[in-house]
Amino acid sequence: MIATSGDRKKIKNVSIKEIKGMIDSFTISDEKFINNEYFANLETTFNKKKILKFLENKNIFPSIPQRNKVLLFPILIETKNNNIYLFNNNIFYDKWNEQKNSYDLLDYLLPSEDIEDLIELQKISKDIETYDFSNLINKYDIKDNIILIIYKESNRIRTLSKINLNNSLKIQNKNYPKLDVLNNNDFSNIVENLKQLYEDQWKKNNEINTSIKLPLTISINSKKTKKIIELEQVLYSLDLVSDFSILNFNSEIIQYKITYNGTPNIFLNDMKEKNLELEIKNNMWILK
């Protein structure tokens, strides 16, 4: 579970006592002394329910750490002469993926160098902010995309980002005064800031809203032992499942009571991704 960059400030000063209270177990390995100093590897397991409760008390809704591939169209415009650069002479296209962090959730794919794309953009340069990019995007088999328009002015950079993630469109404007993209530090700061913006939006789209407590009941044939084990393993693994228990059982069926921090459709998608299919009979979900 992860939080947005803004929420990190809320948990900046957490006491050791609070952290210890959320630990389930830990193991110590590779212990050694070097120059009278103790070194060891510490592997810690935290209690998911306690973590979620702690974050809820801080008014933080964490996100599911789900990686995603995104198509990025960086379009550089020199406002002085209204020149558009998509591939050549576009530092954002050339160097966008040079800065990567292991903890980033978004992997950026850049468009292939198709001269027809550039010609199309040059035709509509004056209306580029309202242009429908779907004809360019649809050439790529990637659901999520970001259109990044960078206006290079004499003493500042201005950006317009059309962030389309999980079928949700968000438009963001950013201003970077007194920055020069040809300066390595300035360019790195702009890219880092934009990537943080996109990461935060992706995290917001995947928030675990602990205020939603959806009660679900699933029935399964009690003779399907392997399926029962598989179901319980999946329920343990799903971040949005806050709790589950056996409601009742007999020689024919086992009924599970589940508390889910999301909508029924998201739950069905979660189960489908784990190759578990549900059907509704008499207002009850039954695992096939």
Q: What pLDDT, in 10s, does the model give residues 211-241?
A: 788 899 999 999 999 999 999 999 988 878 8
Which amino acid, residue 61? F
**β-bridge pairing 106-109 and 68-78:** parallel
For residues 150 and 148, what is the distance between their CA atoms, to the nearest angstrom? 6
Residue 233: what pLDDT? 93
Q: What pLDDT shows up at residue 65?
A: 76
pLDDT at 136: 86
Residue type, 187: F
Alpha carbon distances (Å) from 220 to 238, 251, 277: 19, 11, 11
pLDDT at residue 11 tops 90: no
pLDDT tops 80 at residue 41: yes
Selection from 47, 44, 78, 58 nearest residue 4 by Cα: 58
Which of the residue ranges 38-42, 167-171, 209-213, 274-278 would you say has the lowest mean pLDDT? 209-213
Question: In DSSP terms, which residues pair with 147 in a beta bridge?
Answer: 73, 162
Residue 93 DSSP symbol: H
Backbone dihedral region for residue 59 (phi beyond 0: left; psi -120 to 50: alpha; all else: beta): left
Tally of CA atoms within 13 A in the half-sphere of 196 that contains its CB: 13
Q: What pLDDT was estimated at residue 288?
A: 86
**Contacts by residues 178-182 (CB-CB < 8 Å, ≥ 24 positions apart):** 181/91, 181/92, 181/150, 181/152, 181/157, 182/91
d(CA 139, CA 133): 11
Q: What is the pTM assigned to this prediction?
A: 0.71
Confidence (pLDDT) at 19: 83
- Location of structure tokens 């968000």: 170
- In CATH, what number does 214-287 get? 3.30.70
Query: 68-205 belongs to which CATH class?
Result: alpha beta
Intervals of CATH 3.30.70 along the chain? 214-287
Residue 58's pLDDT is: 80
Cβ–Cβ under 8 Å, residues 6 and 201 = no
Closest-CA residue to 160 (of 188, 186, 112, 197): 197
Tell me the mean pLDDT in the region 181-207: 91
| Contact of 87 with 101, CB cutoff 8 Å | no
Rounded alpha-carbon distances, angstroms, from residue 236 to 18, 45, 61: 24, 14, 20
| pLDDT of res. 1 | 52
* pLDDT confidence band for 262 (50 / 70 / 90): confident
Return the residue matching tokens 């779907």.
134
Which tens digit of pLDDT belongs to each residue from 42-101? 888 888 778 777 877 888 777 777 889 999 999 999 988 888 999 999 999 999 999 888
Instruction: Please give the Cα distance from 217 to 280 (Å, whole number).
Output: 11
| Listed residue (87, 167, 85, 169) closest to 128, CA to CA | 85
Beta bridge mates, 171: 162
Judge contact between 159 and 194, C-beta under 8 A: yes
Q: Where in the chain is the domain with CATH 3.40.50?
A: 68-205
Amino acid at 208: I
